Structure 1
Amino acid sequence: MKRKLGIFLAALLGAVIAMPKAEACTNLIVAKGASTDGSVIVSYSADSHTLYGELYHWAARDWAAGTMRPIIEWDTNKPLGQIPEVAHTYNVVGNVNEHQVAIAETTWGGRPELAESDGIMDYGSLIYVALQRSKTAREAIDVMTNLVKEYGYHSSGESFSIADKNEVWILEMIGKGKGR
């Protein structure tokens, strides 16, 4: 077992060294059945020179009926619109919530004609709204896909790593094009 692990790590290191320089976030995920102790593991590196030392916190909160939540584009701080707030949101620290749901992302871009400049939900807002509204990874996927279905997707292609204490998923997302 140790020999196989050593060969795998040497091959992985060789692949990393041989890679051209890229500006992209990096996720590493391990499913429950692939870890020795049955843990689900997600790591996330935001490969950005502007994100040093940021750790976000949203406290759990109850919201009055009819409350609207502003959606602000994650990368530019540009207001994109509003969505209805839910009755209760969960505590979130960093990219993990109180129910051990974690979401990370890797931007892969995509075809320019698939961008939805009129969409409201950008990748960062999707992550943190889903964390505030989800008790499981599957629920987070439902929250994210339903929000995009309702309000449109404002970002380029993303690969989201979405995990809870039992399972891990990859959700690929790209827009359908303006007005679609």
Structure 2
Amino acid sequence: MTRVIFIISLFISIHSSNIFACTNLLVTKGASTTGSCYILYTNDGEWLYHLQKFPAQDYKKGEFLKIGNGQIAQVAHTYARIGFHMNEFQVSIGETTFTGREELWSKNNILKYWHLMDLALQRAKTAREAIKVITDLVEKYGYGSEGESFSIADPNEAWILEMVGNGSGEKGAVWVAVKIPDGMVSAHANHARIGTFPLDDPENCLYSKNVISFAVEKGYYKPKSDKPFEFNNVYDPANPEKLKYSEARVWSLFRRISPSLNLSSDYHRGLTK
């Protein structure tokens, strides 16, 4: 049986700069009745996501790709893709922006999250390769957006990659990527999703070398405390207002997927941690 990945996108144009809401749902093949991976991606805006087909293309050695006021080295061959959503190998990407700590946003770096999405689709045959493309690019050229949660899937695996800048305008970023266990679903909605994660399981978790040390250096995390290191609480600390805005959407998805769990609304209402 051929397993096919689907991405379902709903793009709502809201003519207000005050609206800031995207939601992603990831479904692994073992959790779907069809044996397929799914990403559901809603985005409140139209400026980026027109449905277009881009053919595969070859380039000469030494060519560069212009991005904003800079450029990056072009690869010899790019893969065909549909918009910013899926390529010919059924690698698919969605995202939600969580902002995080504003002092870490290196606005002058040329690579924004939407560039990274498109470049990953151009250059990757699997979700794992897409993570490497994105993280290698920011290591070489820097990262110029707020905190971002990327949903990345192929016909066999679904991952969440979360990334923040280093605030210095220098190259590099701070990031962690976790594979969703087969048979499970996950979701995120403008709040960092990944909490604790294994440091010794590269098959299921990847991360930047500085993911913990950078937080210690900045004073965001104290290793001697009795608290475990949690990426979301360290780099995107929540408050009741943010929980109501973001986690209410995740709760709404989960309670419909598995009503038997009778999930409490206390967390997203800011009533508990």
Q: Give TM class, smaller chain.
A: 0.7 to 0.9
After TM superposition, the structure 1 stretch with the greater mean CA deviation from structure 2, 113-122 or 137-146, is 113-122
Q: What's the secondary structure of 2:25's corresponding residue?
A: strand
- Number of positions where the alignment pairs a residue of Structure 1 with one of Structure 2: 152
Partner Cα distance (1:43, 1:165) in 2: 14
1:69 to 65, 72, 97: 65
Gaps of 5+ in 1: 1-20, 72-78
Following superposition, the deviation at residue 179 of structure 1 comes to 3.5
| Contact 1:117 1:178 (C-alpha < 8 Å) held by counterparts | no
Distance 1:53 1:145, change over 3 A: closer
Distance 1:52 1:153, change over 3 A: closer
| Contact 1:123 1:155 (C-alpha < 8 Å) held by counterparts | yes
Distance 1:52 1:70, change over 3 A: closer
Question: 2:163 is matched with which residue?
Answer: 173
Following superposition, the deviation at residue 117 of structure 1 comes to 2.4
Q: Residue 71 of structure 2 aligns to which amino acid in structure 1?
A: Q
Q: Residue 127 of structure 2 aligns to which amino acid in structure 1?
A: A
User: Could you state the TM-score of these two structures normalised by the residue count of structure 1?
Assistant: 0.79
Partner Cα distance (1:148, 1:67) in 2: 19
Q: What's the secondary structure of 1:131's corresponding residue?
A: helix
Q: Residue 65 of structure 1 aligns to which amino acid in structure 2?
A: K
Q: Residue 59 of structure 1 aligns to which amino acid in structure 2?
A: P
After TM superposition, the structure 1 stretch with the greater mean CA deviation from structure 2, 60-69 or 21-30, is 21-30
1:55 aligns with 2:51: yes
Question: 1:26 is matched with which residue?
Answer: 23
Q: What's the secondary structure of 1:38's corresponding residue?
A: coil
1:93 aligns with 2:82: yes
Q: What's the secondary structure of 1:144's corresponding residue?
A: helix
The CA RMSD over aligned residues, in Å, is 1.7
Which of structures 1 and 2 has the larger relative contact order (alpha carbons within 8 angstroms, sep 6+)? Answer: 1
Partner Cα distance (2:154, 2:104) in 1: 30
Q: Residue 77 of structure 2 aligns to which amino acid in structure 1?
A: H
After TM superposition, the structure 1 stretch with the greater mean CA deviation from structure 2, 31-40 or 52-61, is 52-61
1:151 to 132, 135, 141: 141
1:136 aligns with 2:133: no
Deviations for 1:38-77, whole angstroms, at most 9, x for unmatched residues?
Answer: 21011111112x4497113321000000110011xxxxxx
Q: What's the secondary structure of 1:37's corresponding residue?
A: coil
1:82 aligns with 2:65: no
Q: What's the secondary structure of 1:124's corresponding residue?
A: helix
Deviations for 1:132-178, whole angstroms, at most 9, x for unmatched residues?
Answer: 00000000000000000110000001100000000100000110112
Distance 1:80 1:156, change over 3 A: farther
Q: Residue 39 of structure 1 aligns to which amino acid in structure 2?
A: S
Partner Cα distance (2:121, 2:164) in 1: 20
Identity percentage of aligned residues:
53
1:42 aligns with 2:39: yes
Task: Report runs of 4+ in structure 1 exceeding 3 Å deviation.
Answer: 50-53
| Contact 1:91 1:98 (C-alpha < 8 Å) held by counterparts | yes
Q: What's the secondary structure of 1:161's corresponding residue?
A: strand
Q: Residue 110 of structure 1 aligns to which amino acid in structure 2?
A: G
